[in-house]
Every structure is written in structure tokens, then in C-alpha cells.
């Protein structure tokens, strides 16, 4: 789990404690199945892997593995606390409490209030991170749910969880949540945009490569070392722009984005000057 998803942080993880959490979760979820028919333990393992990818600590990985044990099995808070300590138990308790609140309104102000309530209820930011990982894994495996539940979860993901990930600066999770929700709510439009984007893949990759090489030379000329990367805009972002501006796909010109990472704030402003 650690080498594949967080190679830089794996040596700092208490593997023995995480292994104990894994065994505990396997034992408590042993007779449970997901809607897909898979063993339930697949879900907490998936959540823990996402948390490992965020380079979170031992307590968070343990809590990710255990996050459904108190809510969905015979395990008690006291038992988790005695076995894994207060830190892990508090995280599990925080996730359990967040799971207990539901969001039904589609009003923007209510969505904002719900996000604020989630943050206020979670005294530890790691609770929110586990909850985001929980939602991401559920969205990745949403196909086995009844259709109406898929729609409800996808809307909730767009209105609550993706904006929350954005506020925390976890952009990769935000983008994936949005695209998964978009694919669930508008499957035909998602497939159409994905196909159009893929048609231009070679041209786009060539442009990004040339632009990156040019920018690297310009930065070197003023003494700035930077790590330059490029990516395609994610599908929901393109769809949102088309919808808000009333444009067709061929009228959207900023289908790629470039990122420049530098060592200091001064270099950041210097890079902005070069780009402009």
C-alpha cells in the first residue's frame, strides 16, 4: 500500500499498527458485502490507499481502514480506543459523526452552510480528508448503486465534496470528484466531451511539450529553476465553461493548463513576470 501510493512517506508509517487496523477491519467486516457483491473490506482499503496517496500519517491510515467499523459493525468506540489509542479513535468518531448528517437541499446557500457545518464538526482536518477519500472511493465504484441513489450522490458530490476539496487545495481529488459526478449525471455529454478531447490529444501534447521547453529556457535566462508540467483541462471544467458561456466545444480554446513550481515566493513572482 505505502510504496505504491506514497513512496516518499512509507518509511515514516508505523506498519505494525496499520497492519493491526487492517486485520481488525477485515475481522469486523468479514460477513459484509458491498452492493457490487465485493467483500466490504475493499472499500476501507480503497479509502486508506487514497489517504496514503495524500501522504497522511499513521493515525489517519488506521482511521481510514476503521472508519466504518463503529457505524456498520459490532465494534464500539471503546474497543477501537483501547486497541488503537485516542488519536485513531477520535478520527473514527469524527468520520462517523459526519456520516450521520445528510444534505438534501439544492440551494447554494444551504450547500455552503452544510460545508461549514462539516468543517465545524470536524475538530481535526484529517477527519475531512478521510471523508473526502471515502466519497472519492464511493464515486469510483458508484455503478452498483440504484440509479436514483447514483444521481443523489453525484449531485451531493458536486455541491458539497468537490468544493470542499477545492477549498483545501486538494485539486486532483476535486477534479476527479467532479468528473465522476459529471459522468454519472450526464453520461452522454461526458462521453461526447471525452471523445472530443481525446481526438486532439496528440496535437495538445505537442503544444504542451513545445510551450514547456520554451518556458524553461525563458526562466533559465533570468536565473529561475522551475518544474514545469502540463495537463488537459478536466471534462467537467470544459462542460461548465460551455454551459455558462453558451459555447460549443470548438469555441473553447483553453483546453490545456500548465503548472510551474519554483523554490520561493520571489521566484514565483519572477516566473509570473516571464510568462506575462
Distance of CA 230 to the CA centre of its chain: 19
Q: Are 18 and 68 in contact (CB under 8 A)?
A: no
Check residue 162 and give its pLDDT. 95
- Predicted confidence at residue 176, as pLDDT, reads 97
Q: pLDDT of 112-167, one tens digit each?
A: 777 888 887 788 999 999 999 999 999 999 999 999 999 999 999 999 999 999 99
Active site amino acids: 71-72
pLDDT at 19: 97
* Beta carbons of 60 and 129 less than 8 angstroms apart: yes
Domain boundaries in the chain? Answer: 2-152, 192-275
List, as one string, the DSSP characters of 178-224. Answer: HHHHHHHH-HHHHHHHHHHHHHTHHHHHHHHHHHHHHHHHHHHHTT-
Question: What digits encode the pLDDT tens for the residues 155-214?
Answer: 999 999 999 999 999 999 999 999 999 999 999 999 999 998 888 777 777 878 888 888
The CATH homologous superfamily for domain 2-152 is Hypothetical protein af1432 (1.10.3210.10)
**Which residue reads 481488525 in cell numbers?**
24
> If pLDDT is split at 50, 70 and 90, which confidence band does 3 have?
low
From the CA atom positions of the chain, what is the Rg in Å?
Answer: 21
Report the predicted TM-score, pTM, of the whole model to 2 decimal places.
0.84
Give the CA distances from residue 31 to residues 12, 79, 143, 154, 190, in Å, rounded to whole numbers and listed in that order: 33, 19, 22, 28, 37
Amino acid at each position: 500500500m505505502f510504496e505504491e501510493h506514497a513512496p516518499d512517506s512509507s518509511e515514516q508509517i508505523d506498519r505494525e499498527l496499520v497492519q493491526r487496523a487492517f486485520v481488525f477491519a477485515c475481522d469486523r467486516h468479514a460477513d459484509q458485502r458491498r452492493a457490487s457483491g465485493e467483500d466490504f473490506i475493499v472499500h476501507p482499503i480503497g479509502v486508506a490507499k487514497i489517504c496514503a496517496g495524500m501522504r497522511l500519517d499513521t493515525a489517519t491510515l488506521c482511521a481510514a481502514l476503521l472508519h466504518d467499523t463503529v457505524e456498520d459493525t459490532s465494534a464500539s468506540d471503546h474497543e477501537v480506543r483501547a486497541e488503537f489509542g485516542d488519536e485513531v479513535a477520535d478520527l473514527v468518531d469524527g468520520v462517523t459523526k459526519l456520516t450521520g448528517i445528510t444534505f438534501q437541499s439544492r440551494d447554494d446557500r444551504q450547500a455552503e452552510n452544510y460545508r461549514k457545518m462539516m468543517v465545524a464538526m470536524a475538530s481535526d482536518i484529517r477527519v475531512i480528508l478521510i471523508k473526502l477519500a471515502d466519497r472519492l472511493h464511493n464515486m469510483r465504484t458508484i455503478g452498483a448503486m440504484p440509479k436514483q441513489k447514483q444521481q443523489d450522490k453525484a449531485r451531493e458530490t458536486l455541491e458539497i465534496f468537490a468544493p470542499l476539496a477545492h477549498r483545501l487545495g486538494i485539486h486532483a481529488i476535486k477534479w476527479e470528484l467532479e468528473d465522476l459526478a459529471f459522468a454519472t449525471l450526464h453520461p452522454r455529454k461526458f462521453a461526447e466531451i471525452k471523445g472530443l478531447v481525446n481526438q486532439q490529444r496528440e496535437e495538445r501534447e505537442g503544444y504542451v511539450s513545445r510551450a514547456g521547453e520554451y518556458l524553461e529556457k525563458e526562466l533559465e535566462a533570468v536565473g529561475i529553476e522551475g518544474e514545469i508540467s502540463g495537463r488537459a483541462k478536466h471534462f467537467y471544467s470544459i462542460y461548465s465553461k460551455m454551459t455558462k458561456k453558451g459555447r460549443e466545444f470548438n469555441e473553447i480554446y483553453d483546453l490545456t493548463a500548465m503548472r510551474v513550481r519554483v523554490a520561493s515566493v520571489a521566484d514565483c513572482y519572477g516566473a509570473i513576470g516571464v510568462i506575462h
